[in-house]
Amino acid sequence: MKAFKKVFISIMLVSALLSSAACGGAKDSGQKDAPSADTKSESTEAAAPESSESSAEGSADGKNESSAGDGAINIAVSSDIVTMDVHKTSNDYIVPMNVFDTLFEVVLNSDGSTSIEKSLVEDYSVSDDGLVYSITLKDGIVFSDGTPLSSEDVKFTFERMLTLPDSEQTDYGASIQGAKELMDGSAKELSGIKVEDDTHLTITLSEPFSGFLAQLATPSTIILSKSLVTEAGDDFGILPEKTIGSGPYIVSSWERGSGLTLEYNPLYWGPEPSVKKVNIKVMDASSMDMAFQKGDLDILDCQRIDSALVESTYKTKYADSIVSVNRLGINYLILNEKVEPFSDPKVRKAVQMAIDRQAILDSIYNGDGKLEDGIYPSGCLYYSDANQGWLKYDPEASKALLSEAGYADGFDFEISLDSGSDDSVKNVIQIIAQNLKDVGINAEIKSYDHASWLEARNSGDMPSFMAAWTLDYNDPDNVIYTFFGSKDNTVIRSNNYSDEATIKRVAAARGIVDPKEREAEYAALEKKLVQEDAVWVPMFSLKHLYVKGDRVESFVPHWAGWSDIYFKGVTLK
Amino acid sequence: MSAFIRRCVGVLLVLLGVMLLIFIVLRIIPGNPAAVLLSEHANKETIERLTASMNLDKALPEQFLLYLSGALRGDLGQSYYLKRPVLDLVLEAFPFTVKLTIFSAAFAWIFGIAVGVISAVYQNRLPDYLFRGISLLGVSVPVFMVALFLQYLFYFKFSLLPLLYDGSAVSMILPAIALGWNSAGSVARLTRSSLIEQNNELYLDTAKAKGLTAKAALLKHGLKNAMLPVITMLALQLSSMLSGAVITESVFGIAGIGKLALSAVETRDMPLLQGTVLFSAFIISLGNIISDLINTCIDPRLRV
């Protein structure tokens, strides 16, 4: 009997431990995915354990370093990275962005537009059929340990991306000729990349894909060193001294769970950045707020802290220090065609007209954003404001459409909420439900934990949800193909769009070589999907706000509004 | 000795039960870890490929047997998310949690007992009311509130202590107080009531008759007897601190077991969660055995 009691008590203790872990989990994740529920850059997750507790370097109390003049800045993130190996993550881009280089880079122009510029590439040309990219690399580029960067490294990078068993980045090499054969094991090499000499190579695609150049400008396609990565083996991306890139910074230390330190790479081929050292610390929201106000942080990401606090403190006390960038992302509402009565375009159209998006933007996001009436967010390649006005808030017309469709008395449906999303998302959905009630539609908000929510959405059965999509690379294909590019994609995004002809057109649009023709096709597709078929309820795009500290002269946020910053774009006073 | 062996077998059974329980619970919760891992920007093929690489496409009993046979060989599997062996991760994190627990226990015991004794000695006088109020706050304020308040006061207002844990002993002060605060409150209350109870014992009258002042008699003779229930409680509190560490570690950025378990829950990292829970169960069972052994040594009556 006594033994039983012990067993029972032990189990109770363990379950207590577990339940407190679960509760803490819900609370924590509620704070971090702000304000868009599920964009890539925000959802960096979870902390790794600390491997050593050595040096007290980079401590957040700010007493021991970063006094002006030494070129060091302090940055806070809400959770530690998991790996520095870009092929094994789709979240952690801070190291790939700052320690490695891509062939091309995206430049954010002062008018908010973006352009693709050459980075590691000296010169390039694309064949008339859009299939062959002939690339000349810059001469004399070396990795931070002195190893030269050559065409072989480019080939190696894409082969590794495609063949690593747990690669999360295969999409970025999938359009290259021979990718399929390499992935299924029938080929040993990636036939689409031909190395001519150390600085010359050609990349051949299996079919034309105009977004390819934009893909070559994202951190997903940073160039790794063949010899260094092969030599490092499993330590690549795990040990700082084995994770060597050609970018402006090197990783000088990574204390698991508490943060990392980057330092200037003296062998960097580009201009010397103003910031020589970056201390990146993992903090929770309230710590960030305290540390920034105390001067121990140099850049504060407003998305990581309470939005009420941003409004009450930062927009007043620090009004002159706020830096904002338009997020190349769009918040949208999905209505699942498979779920009645959403199979009727009139009903979907009625929902489009019933939501007062301006009121939502003003009340929840303090007006820090812009209404979007299409699929591609403002700032996206080929974006045109010709779509403005497609959606008008008009409850009366909405009611009329509903009765035309035979739902004069409205209907019931469910909006699924990811409980891990930021409070603002929850509030937006509340207002949407209220708006819909005004036209007689009864929307029930049902909350799921993040994993269950993803599961339901991926299965194609989720009736309706609101989320945001932030661009990975600046091409309309990145958003439209994700949602409407294939039957699988329509299922995994739970829209179940049924018009197969249009789905085929979306897939085919990737391959249009002539820019004018391509632009026209994307505009036509947007019109078809949003205005005619109403399968997508565009909401708005938001601004991403940062506050810079006293020592920071200026900085350029990520062009798409990701939370990760290119530190070479920061200048100190 | 045979009793000891029986206990060890009992522990093994507990661990097996815990393994089965957590395995089943984790599989009942909906959600595909591969999908969570890949988050938003993933297509169907990538999710399927990753699901297969995690063995998640195999039948449940097969998965459990795979896990069990690994565990018996000391292999708790590979973390889905952190992509490293679970055992390594747990062993790396454990020293931090131990350090935090020891510091907070030390704070809770020293502070708690001191307050309790002062309260009892000045029973129903000003210090008593004051300290009783404090210890009531101790047992009733949740850990994260204490943590935030401490950070605000000692870091933000007075710049005395670091905001987060950075490896130095100084930076361990705030986390230790935050985690030890609740325990300190209950220790103080128990010490006080236990000591006051001793007041009615006859042996104290004897001591007083021998010429000791009431205060000296209580501290010299009463305290020893009053400590027995307190010591029992201290042992129990160690395991509750282990669970309170989840919150404290998150707030102060300490890379211990609690933070590891938390990240495992968030990311549906089943091997890691199984590993952290199993490890905690093991430590708690071990603690129980040791405390039993100590009790048996101290109190001969228990040997019968």
pLDDT in tens, A427-484: 999 999 999 999 888 989 999 888 888 888 888 889 999 999 988 888 899 999 999 9
Chain A residue with Cα closest to B158: A294
Chain B residue with Cα closest to A63: B162
Tell me the shortest Cα–Cα distance from B173 to chain A, in angstroms. 14
A56 and B167 within 8 Å at the Cβ level: the answer is yes
pLDDT in tens, B115-167: 888 888 888 888 888 888 888 887 788 888 888 889 988 988 888 888 888 87
Q: In the predicted model, what is the mean pLDDT of chain A?
A: 84
In whole angstroms, how large is the CA radius of gyration of chain B? 24
State the best of A215, A239, A258 to mutate against chain B, taking most chain B CBs within 10 Å: A258
Distance CA A555, CA A557 (A): 6
B291 has a pLDDT exceeding 90: no
- For A74, the enclosing helix (H) or strand (E) is strand A72-77
As a 3-state breakdown, chain A gives helix, strand, coil percent values, each rounded to 5, of 35, 20, 40
A14 and B239 within 8 Å at the Cβ level: the answer is no
State the best of B263, B279, B293 to mutate against chain A, taking most chain A CBs within 10 Å: B263
B42 and A90 within 8 Å at the Cβ level: the answer is yes
A282 and B244 within 8 Å at the Cβ level: the answer is no
Of A96-110, A337-351, B193-207, the poorest mean pLDDT is in B193-207
The residue ranking higher by pLDDT, A178 or B286, is A178
pLDDT in tens, A539-559: 999 999 999 999 999 988 888
Tell me the shortest Cα–Cα distance from B237 to chain A, in angstroms. 11
Predicted local confidence at residue B298, as pLDDT: 63
Question: Residue for token digits 């774009």?
Answer: A569
Of A318-327, A502-511, B1-10, the poorest mean pLDDT is in B1-10
Q: What is the mean pLDDT of residues A207-229?
A: 92
For residue B10, give the nearest of A6, A39, A284 by CB distance. Answer: A6
Chain-centre distance for alpha carbon A548:
22
Q: Sign of the CA dihedral B98, B102, B105, B107?
A: negative
Written as six digits, the tokens of A571 are: 């200048």
Predicted local confidence at residue A520, as pLDDT: 92
Q: What is the mean pLDDT of residues B16-25?
A: 85
Predicted local confidence at residue A119, as pLDDT: 93
Predicted local confidence at residue A415, as pLDDT: 92
Chain B residue with Cα closest to A184: B49
A12 has a pLDDT exceeding 90: no
| Chain A residues within 8 A of B304 when measuring between CB atoms | none
> From residue A244, how far is each of A233, A241, A373 by CA, in Å?
13, 7, 44
| Chain B residues within 8 A of A45 when measuring between CB atoms | 39, 81, 263, 266-267
Q: What is the 3-state secondary structure (H, E, C) of A524-539?
A: HHHHHHHHHCCCEEEE
Contact B85, B76 (CB under 8 A): yes
A469 touches chain B (CB under 8 A): yes
Predicted local confidence at residue A261, as pLDDT: 95
Contact B79, B219 (CB under 8 A): no
Distance CA A193, CA A198 (A): 13
Predicted local confidence at residue A104, as pLDDT: 95
Predicted local confidence at residue A341, as pLDDT: 87
User: Where are the domains positioned within chain B?
Assistant: 2-72, 86-303
**pTM to 2 decimals?**
0.78
pLDDT in tens, A139-148: 999 999 999 9
A31 has a pLDDT exceeding 80: no
| Chain A residues within 8 A of B18 when measuring between CB atoms | 10-11, 14
Predicted local confidence at residue B182, as pLDDT: 84
State the best of A175, A253, A287, A494 to mutate against chain B, taking most chain B CBs within 10 Å: A287
Fold of the domain spanning B86-303: MetI-like fold (1.10.3720)
A156 has a pLDDT exceeding 50: yes
| Chain B residues within 8 A of A28 when measuring between CB atoms | 250, 262, 266
Tell me the shortest Cα–Cα distance from A185 to chain B, in angstroms. 14
Question: Residue for token digits 């931070």?
Answer: A144
> Any residues with CB less than 8 A from the CB of B149 and at least 6 apart, and which?
none
A375 has a pLDDT exceeding 70: yes
Predicted local confidence at residue A50, as pLDDT: 36
Chain B residue with Cα closest to A419: B266
Distance CA B138, CA B237 (A): 14
For residue B31, give the nearest of A51, A90, A455 by CB distance. Answer: A455
Extract the runs of DSSP E, i.e. beta strands, from A78-168.
104-108, 114-118, 121-126, 132-137
Best mean pLDDT range from A241-250, B202-211, B271-280 = A241-250
Residue from A511, A508, A479 nearest A493 by CA: A479
State the burial class of residue B50 (Cβ atoms within 10 Å of its Cβ: 0-12, 13-18, 19+). buried
Residue from A33, A43, A70, A9 nearest A551 by CA: A70
- For A202, the enclosing helix (H) or strand (E) is strand A200-204
Q: What angle do CA A344, A345, A346 make, to 5 degrees?
A: 90
A27 has a pLDDT exceeding 60: no
Residue from A242, A252, A235, A298 nearest A98 by CA: A252
Chain-centre distance for alpha carbon B159:
29
A498 has a pLDDT exceeding 60: yes
- For A443, the enclosing helix (H) or strand (E) is strand A442-448
For residue A168, give the nearest of B38, B156, B171 by CB distance. Answer: B38
Predicted local confidence at residue A57, as pLDDT: 39
Chain B residue with Cα closest to A485: B43
Q: What is the mean pLDDT of residues A87-106?
A: 91
pLDDT band for position B195 (50/70/90)? confident
pLDDT band for position A359 (50/70/90)? very high
Q: What is the mean pLDDT of residues A69-74?
A: 86
Of A24-28, A65-69, B234-238, B293-297, the poorest mean pLDDT is in A24-28
A296 touches chain B (CB under 8 A): yes
Strands A259-264, A249-255: parallel, antiparallel or unpaired by DSSP?
A: antiparallel
Q: What angle do CA A138, A144, A146 make, to 5 degrees?
A: 75
A7 and B251 within 8 Å at the Cβ level: the answer is no
Tell me the shortest Cα–Cα distance from B166 to chain A, in angstroms. 5
- For B112, the enclosing helix (H) or strand (E) is helix B86-121
> Any residues with CB less than 8 A from the CB of A422 and at least 6 apart, and which?
A30, A31, A33, A34, A35, A36, A37, A307
Predicted local confidence at residue A385, as pLDDT: 86
Phi then psi for A520, rounded to 5 degrees?
-65, -40
A138 has a pLDDT exceeding 90: yes
Question: Residue for token digits 């006859």?
Answer: B202
Chain B residue with Cα closest to A85: B83
State the best of B26, B164, B280 to mutate against chain A, taking most chain A CBs within 10 Å: B164
Written as six digits, the tokens of A434 are: 């209220």
Pairs across A and B, CB distance < 8 A: 246
pLDDT band for position A47 (50/70/90)? very low
Phi then psi for B52, rounded to 5 degrees?
-65, -40
Chain A residue with Cα closest to B82: A82
Predicted local confidence at residue B41, as pLDDT: 64
> From residue A478, how far is each of A212, A214, B41, B238 by CA, in Å?
11, 10, 10, 52
> Any residues with CB less than 8 A from the CB of A167 and at least 6 apart, and which?
A87, A88, A160, A161
State the best of A4, A10, A169 to mutate against chain B, taking most chain B CBs within 10 Å: A10
Q: Tell me if residue A418 falls in helix, strand or coil.
A: strand
Q: What angle do CA A526, A529, A531 make, to 5 degrees?
A: 85
Residue from A297, A24, A282 nearest B164 by CA: A282
Tell me the shortest Cα–Cα distance from B267 to chain A, in angstroms. 7
Distance CA B207, CA A290 (A): 55
pLDDT band for position A113 (50/70/90)? confident
A20 and B164 within 8 Å at the Cβ level: the answer is no
Q: What is the mean pLDDT of residues A220-247?
A: 92
A79 touches chain B (CB under 8 A): yes
pLDDT band for position B33 (50/70/90)? confident
Predicted local confidence at residue B302, as pLDDT: 62
> Any residues with CB less than 8 A from the CB of A248 and at least 6 apart, and which?
A98, A264, A265, A268, A270, A273, A567, A568
Question: Residue for token digits 């580009």?
Answer: A270
Predicted local confidence at residue B304, as pLDDT: 55
Tell me the shortest Cα–Cα distance from B220 to chain A, in angstroms. 36
A3 touches chain B (CB under 8 A): yes
Of A46-60, A156-170, A309-323, the poorest mean pLDDT is in A46-60
Predicted local confidence at residue A333, as pLDDT: 93
> Any residues with CB less than 8 A from the CB of B146 and at least 6 apart, and which?
B177, B178, B181, B182
A184 touches chain B (CB under 8 A): no
Above pLDDT 70, what percent of chain A? 88
B243 and A13 within 8 Å at the Cβ level: the answer is yes
Angle, helix A477-484 to helix A515-526, in steps of 10 degrees: 50
Predicted local confidence at residue A526, as pLDDT: 92
Distance CA A159, CA A179 (A): 8
pLDDT in tens, A268-279: 999 999 999 999
Predicted local confidence at residue A39, as pLDDT: 37
Extract the runs of DSSP E, i.e. beta strands, from A283-343.
299-301, 322-326, 329-335
pLDDT in tens, B47-88: 777 777 777 777 788 888 888 888 888 788 888 877 788 888
Of A58-62, B5-9, B291-295, the poorest mean pLDDT is in A58-62
Contact B284, B242 (CB under 8 A): yes
